[in-house]
Amino acid sequence: MVRVRLEGLPDEVHRTANAMQAAGCVLERSREYPNRGESRYVRVYLECYIPEGLEVSRHD
């Protein structure tokens, strides 16, 4: 299991979290937290499961 923090504009974070859930790897999803101060950004925390043997391309 890995923990992922998504941070960005609310619509971007929502769409990305939904796409990850649709892929079937999200075990748990937090509520949306606003960033501090006058920031328009929000955060969402995900707990994700990456199956053994899953090939993932690495882009450096």
Instruction: Tell whether 53 is covered by a domain.
Output: no
Pairing of strands 33-34, 26-29: unpaired
Residue 6 lies in a domain: yes
Domain count, the chain: 1
The pTM (predicted TM-score) of the whole model is 0.80
Residue 55 counted as domain residue? no
Which of 26 and 1 is assigned the larger pLDDT?
26
Task: Tell me if 10 is assigned to some domain.
Answer: yes
Q: Is residue 15 part of a domain?
A: yes
Per-residue pLDDT tens digits for 9-43: 999 999 999 999 998 889 999 999 999 999 999 99
Mean pLDDT (whole number) for 32-60:
87
Q: Does residue 60 fall inside a structural domain?
A: no
The answer to whether residue 28 sits within a structural domain is yes
- Higher-confidence position of 60 and 1: 1
- Measured CA to CA, the distance from residue 15 to residue 10 in angstroms comes to 9
Domain that holds residue 20: 2-48
User: Which pLDDT band, with edges at 50, 70 and 90, does 60 fall under?
Assistant: low
